[in-house]
Amino acid sequence: MSEMIATTKKQSRQLSAEEIREIEHEKTHYPYTQAVGLEALKIVQKHQGWVSDESLLAVAEYLDIPVADLEGVATFFNMIFRRPVGKNVICLCDSVACWMLGCDDLKAQITSRLGIEYGETTEDGEFTLLPVPCLGACDKAPVLMVGRETHRHVDPENLDQLLNELQRENTKSKKTM
Amino acid sequence: MADGMSEKVSITIDNQAIEVDPDKNLLEEVLSAGLDLPYFCWHPSMDSVGSCRQCAMTEYADEEDQHGRLIMACMSSPRDGARYSLQAAADFRAEIIEGMMISHPHDCAVCEEGGECHLQDMTVMSGHTYRRYDGTKVTHRNQNLGPFIGHEMNRCITCYRCVRFYRDYAGGTDLGAQASHHHVYFGRYDDGPLESEFSGNLAEVCPTGVFTDKVFSKHYSRKWDLQTSPSICAGCSIGCNINPGERYGTLRRVVNRYNDEVNGYFICDRGRFGTGYVNDDAVRIRQSMTRSSQDADPVLVSNADALQQLQDMSGAIGIGSPRASMEANFALREKVGKANFYAGLSQQEFAILQQILSIYQDTPAHIASLKDVEASDAVLILGEDLTNTAARMALAVRQSVRHRSFEKAAEQKIPLWHDAAVRKLAMDERSPLYILSPHATRLDDVSETTHICNAGQAARIAAAVASRFDKEVLAPEKLDKAEQALVKRITASFKGARQPLIIAGSNSMSLPLVQSAANLAQALYQKNELTQLALVGSEANGLGLMLLMEDSQQDLQQAFATGTQSAIVVENDLYRRAPTAEVDHFIAGLEQLAVIDNIKTRTGEQAHLVCASATFAESSGTFVNYEGRAQHYYATFKPVDSILPATRWLAPETSLATLTQACSQTLANCAGMADLTPGQDYHYAGLLVPRQQFRYSGRTAMRANKNVHEPKQEQDPDGIMSYSMEGVSPLKEARVFNTPWAPGWNSNQSVFKFQDEVGGHLKQSSIGVRLLDKRNSAEEGGYIALDSSEKNTAFPLYHLFGSEELSAQSQAIQARATSAYVAMNPADADRLGFNAGGGVTVQGNGVVPLLLRDSIATGSVGISVGLPGLNVHDVLPDVSLEPAPQWQAPPQWQPDNIIVSDRLHKLHEQEGD
């Protein structure tokens, strides 16, 4: 009896009422609950910032789909975060057009200013830096994306400005909290 | 898969004209034609998805076309008159494999797959001999997947075969494909045992060493160093064909052996991992012994003395066994005389198996092989928990529900081999599967309806369906509205089916249920002559034992009633067959008890004479499976000299072949057994069939640490196989076919070289002889009057891992097994005053835990079978339980996930019409 049928060591968390409401809404769009998996993960990420094991289990349980399936979806898409990320996720494009127009320098600038490499999060939890292969705006390279906002023709000056703004907003929101 | 055969079309491949089936894909047809074309993701049982891009070939538009275009052979239908080339795409294939091999660790020397690796074979075949990539390889973290399967993801070439088998084919849910591009990872959500009962097949399905047999890894040997033989699994009544492998006197592993009518390419985890007992000194009897009295300490005796003592036991009765071979049982019957031979089965099991045998002789319906089960398009399962009692059949039933998807694909003109398209097209649409069971089952996820009811009610529902097909069957009363609606649905499904199938068996321990299944098959046959029936048993040779009983009615209870003073028991533990007190009483009354067995049992512990017998791996013989298919198994290796096959203990002077022939001549219905083994004239120039491959190493050196003299080659008095690498490998039309191997094909994939076409019959080997197939169309038997005495207050609960006697003694199986328990519906528990999470005292068996499950029929109690701590024969049929509030759960006790079906999220119950 040493090794019983597996039970996951982690337990699912309780989904919030708001998360459930939004997932239920998505369910009306699809004939199979499997299809709702991705949308449900996006909803959870919207509310929690990332998809923890506890959230993953909660969604799998709620939708009655195997957690292995849902993990397959969650890990297939780079923008579903299975690790905690900062409040601002900077997605810096490193594909050909942006590379030709100096994205490496921009990356170095971010790293020196915020002290994070690709895949890392600042200690204060404000910023995460990720490379992305293309944001579909090669004619306006180099490009980066923060949240839902795409920033085109990025250069050292407007990058500094952008980071200033983001940091200001962060401190502001901290104060109001 | 496809019904009927289309007319062949002709194509040319590299200027060689071949005839091909247009309903198959090109890869299959190229391989069937005997040509070599590398592939990974395609599998004969799982068809094509076109994910690996390895089987590229060139298709030319017409005679003028010089360049042609690349096509994936597995994703293309042959075009009549078209011209193809394998040669022209060789460079492309070499590039593809180079890409796939970029992160492969090249650790063949320390990889369990090395030497029988499909990836090795294909790499060599594709001509990728030099590695140009010198960058960093992707590395993965491996998971602990439990006691059966090892995980080494770095070797993966992402062919997706594992998930296609595990999820799509076998219905497992806990193995998935994760991440994307060069990070693709096949594993569970977290560490933990793979839940599917068929997980072991991953080791064979994976083309390389990502998923390996963990039990084998612990005492590993290369494929070419294993001594192997064609064998039959002793784990249940299905009789899957297996290929055990031995080295240094221990059984190392079991792999699937192809038989297209039985197990095809797959076996269950009980069969693969349940043979560890063969090597376990704590379990085995390796030396015969005597006791002066039942309580005295045993004294070891020589074979000669033991044989003499057996010889001297005159007037003894013989008790046979459903886990002993036909020959061993027959030898015992001959020794004691037919009048003194008893079946060694409980009264109830005897009655049910006898009923099954008589049904098989009378029914006009076809007795379904597993291949037939897969081809069925409407299935009704009555009371059998197939996944736990005849697992391979559950896997076949799971394929049968795909029939609807093939119909839909045919309507859309989608080739049936186009697996992804066929599955996506059908989504959740399935051919009807109805399950009537006292508890939830592992097939509920694909059933149209799983109706929870006791055996009596299931028998009545089946009778109601039968009455709709033949007015001669009286419609039963006592069906509620929901059940009447269910009867209507089943009737409609059967009416629309081309090849309906009814499954029941002896494990439900209900005689009327089996009778009702037969009646339904008979009634349905009036409307549809393709009606099929399958009645499973519990052990490897249960039906064979009934064939030996002929018209005798002598079950174990009758043996007890003889008041005999002397008994010989062959490979049977009576404490698993009858109430404890009755067996105690019987043994106490014996002056002489001889037990011939290969494992230590409670019966053997009290015997005056214990003779060490050989297991299936060390002896040859015949088992008759649930469908009446006699299959011969050959000893894999020779045990130590003190162990003899049971047949040698009972008939020391008679060869096995003589016993097999005697069975065929003496026993009614067994004439076909004569054809099972080749006669002596089979030998080519006096040479035997070798058990060892020609690369077998260490013949002169492997025992040098003990003695530098090379021992004499072991002789096998029982067969036509040698314990040697010398001899003649299977010839054309050979009936003995050992491990498949072909030049360039070292893995199990090489079996296609021995098939008449891919996935077809073996050109060599025996697929067994169906003893009960009717030579003439049978006289119509009448309907059976249902036995109405049954009470149905309790029902048995089986575990694939633990309920079977032999496999349960293997450590790998024990790691997945649980101890005895009783289960009931919470509503009943409330009514009777039992607490959740508490224990119950079972009459004569102490305290066992009580499990409460919504998915259990109300009004009856589930009793675990064969698990340590409870003798089911003490409890059935009149179960009496007392609450045991003082019971404390043991520290590791996990009440969840004990019953396999617990893992199903919810029951797919559709009521109403």
Mean pLDDT of the region B337-343: 96
Within a domain: B567: no
> Considering only B394-408, B774-788, B835-849, which range has the smallest mean pLDDT?
B774-788
Give the pLDDT confidence score for residue A6 in this predicted structure: 43
pLDDT by residue (tens digit) across B554-607?
999 999 999 899 999 999 999 999 999 999 999 999 999 999 999 999 999 999
Classify residue B451: in a domain, yes or no: yes
Q: Which residues, including other chains, have CB under 8 Å from residue B577's CB and lie 6 or more apart?
A: B344, B345, B346, B349, B556, B583, B873
Interface with A, mutate which of B153, B167, B181, B190 (most A CBs under 10 A) = B190
Within a domain: B881? yes
Asked if the C-beta of A177 comes within 8 angstroms of chain B's C-beta atoms, the answer is no
Residue B191: its pLDDT value, please? 92
- Residue to mutate among B153, B189, B424, with most A CBs inside 10 A, is B189
Q: Mean pLDDT across the stretch B169-188?
A: 94
Could you tell me whether strands B532-536 and B794-797 are parallel, antiparallel, or unpaired per DSSP bridges?
unpaired
Mean of all residue pLDDT scores within chain B:
91
Q: Is the pLDDT of residue B732 over 60?
A: no
Contact between A75 and B897 using a beta-carbon 8 Å cutoff:
no
Quick one: pLDDT band at residue B750, thresholds 50, 70, 90? very high
A67: contact with B, CB 8 A cutoff: yes
User: What is the distance between the alpha carbons of residues B870 and B799, in angstroms, rounded to a whole number?
Assistant: 14
Phi-psi region of B176 (alpha: psi -120 to 50; beta: other; left: phi over 0): beta
Whether the pLDDT of residue B719 is over 90: the answer is no
Q: Could you tell me if A35 lies within 8 Å of chain B, comparing CB atoms?
A: no
Does residue B592 sit within a domain? Answer: no
Q: What is the pLDDT of residues B661-693, one digit of tens each?
A: 999 999 999 999 988 887 666 666 667 889 999
Chain A nearest-CA distance from B461, in A, is 31
**Across the interface, do B903 and A5 touch by the CB < 8 Å criterion?**
yes
Residue B467 to residue B461: CA distance in whole angstroms: 10
Domain assignment present for residue B331? The answer is: no
The strand order across the sheet containing B317-319 reads: B299-300, B289-290, B609-612, B592-597, B566-570, B317-319, B341-342
For residue B379, the 8-state DSSP code is: E
Helices (H), B533-689: 542-549, 556-561, 580-588, 646-650, 656-666
Point out the domain boundary residue: B497, B530, B563: B530
- Report the pLDDT value the prediction gives residue A5, as an integer from 0 to 100: 41
At residue B684, the 3 state secondary structure works out as strand
Range of the domain at B394: 365-530
Give CA separation, B22 vs B9, B49, B420, B423, B752, in Å: 6, 18, 19, 21, 19
Q: Given CB atoms, is A133 within the 8 Å cutoff of chain B?
A: no
Q: Which of B176, B819, B900 sits opposite A71 (nearest CB)?
A: B176
Could you tell me if B612 and B298 are in contact, meaning their C-beta atoms sit under 8 angstroms apart? no
- Among A69-83, A116-130, B264-278, B817-831, which is the least confidently predicted range? B817-831
Residue B685: per-residue pLDDT: 65
Chain A / chain B CB contacts < 8 angstroms = 77
| B-interface mutation test, from A3, A65, A81, most B Cβ less than 10 A away | A3
Of A1, A2, A67, the CB nearest to B189: A67
The predicted-structure confidence for A47-97, as pLDDT tens digits, reads as follows 999 999 999 999 999 999 999 999 999 999 989 999 999 999 999 999 999
DSSP string, B791-809: --SEEEE--TTTSSTTGGG
Q: Could you write out the DSSP letters of every residue in B279-348? A: G-TTTB--S-EE-SSTTSPPEE--HHHHHHHHHH-TT-EEE--TTS-HHHHHHHHHHH-GGGEE--S-HH
pLDDT at B642 over 50: yes
Q: Is A8 on the interface with B (CB under 8 A)?
A: yes
- What integer pLDDT is reported at residue B206 of this predicted model? 97
Predicted confidence (pLDDT) per residue in B84-107, tens digit: 999 999 999 999 999 999 999 999
In the listed set B78, B99, B120, which residue is the last one of a domain according to the structure?
B99
Q: Which residues of A touch B188 (CB under 8 A)?
A: 6, 68
Could you report the per-residue pLDDT of B447-500, keeping only the tens digit for each?
Answer: 999 999 999 999 999 999 999 999 888 888 878 999 999 999 999 999 999 999
- pLDDT tens sequence across B273-314: 999 999 999 999 999 999 988 778 899 999 999 999 999 998
For B130-146, what is each residue's pLDDT tens digit?
A: 899 999 999 999 999 99
Which residues make Cβ contacts (< 8 Å) with residue B789, sequence separation at least 6?
A: none
Residues of B in contact with A2 (CB under 8 A): 814-815, 892
Average pLDDT over residues B739-763: 91
Does the residue B123 lie in any domain? no
Mark B306-329 as b/e (b = at least 16 C-beta within 10 Å).
Answer: bbebbeebeebbbbbbbbbbbbbb
CATH number at B484 reads: 3.40.228.10
Average pLDDT for residues B796-807, to the nearest whole number? 94
Tell whether A75 is within 8 A of chain B (Cβ): yes
Mean per-residue pLDDT of chain A: 91
A2 touches chain B (CB under 8 A): yes
User: B178 to chain A: nearest residue by CA?
Assistant: A72
Which of B273, B493, B490, B277 lies closest to B391, judged by CA?
Answer: B273
B269: nearest Cα among B198, B319, B324: B198
Measured between CB atoms, which of B175, B816, B906 is closest to A68? Answer: B175
Give the dihedral sign, CA B870/B874/B879/B884: negative
Q: How many domains does chain B have?
A: 3
Interchain CB distance below 8 Å, A5 and B900: yes
**A52's tokens:** 């923890």
Question: Does residue B572 sit in helix, strand or coil?
Answer: coil
pLDDT at B5: 60
Q: Which residue of B has its CA nearest to A56?
A: B189
Q: Is B424 exposed, middle or buried (0-12, 13-18, 19+ CB in 10 A)?
A: exposed
- Asked if A66 has any chain B CB less than 8 Å from its own CB, the reply is yes
Confidence of residue B716 (pLDDT cuts 50, 70, 90): confident
Neighbours of A43 (CB within 10 A): 22
Domain stop point among B530, B551, B572: B530
List the CATH number of the domain containing B877: 2.40.40
Assign residue B79 the CATH number of its domain: 3.10.20.740
Please answer yes or no on whether B189 and A1 come within 8 Å at the CB atom. Answer: no
Residue B913 pLDDT grade (very low, low, confident, very high; cuts 50, 70, 90) = very low
Q: Which residue, chain included where needed, has tokens 């013949």?
A: B699
In the block, tokens 């081999």 appear at B417
**Of the partner residues A6, A9, A68, the one whose CB lies closest to the CB of residue B176:** A68
The model's pTM is 0.94
A83 CB within 8 Å of a chain B CB: no
Contact across the interface for A1 and B897, Cβ inside 8 Å:
no
Nearest CA in chain A to B814: A1
Q: Give the minimum alpha-carbon distance from A120 to chain B in angstroms, rounded to a whole number.
A: 19
Residue B220 in any domain: the answer is no
Q: Which residues of chain B are within 8 Å of residue A71 when distances are taken between CB atoms?
A: 176, 178, 189
A64 neighbourhood in chain B, CB within 8 Å: 905-906
Say whether B192 and A72 touch across the interface (CB within 8 A).
Answer: no
Strand (E) positions, B520-648? 532-536, 566-570, 592-597, 609-612, 621-624, 629-633
Please determine, for residue B907, whether its predicted confidence score (pLDDT) is greater than 50: no
Q: Is the pLDDT of residue A3 over 90?
A: no
Q: Answer yes or no: is B722 within a domain.
A: no
Cβ within 8 Å, pair A4-B147 = no
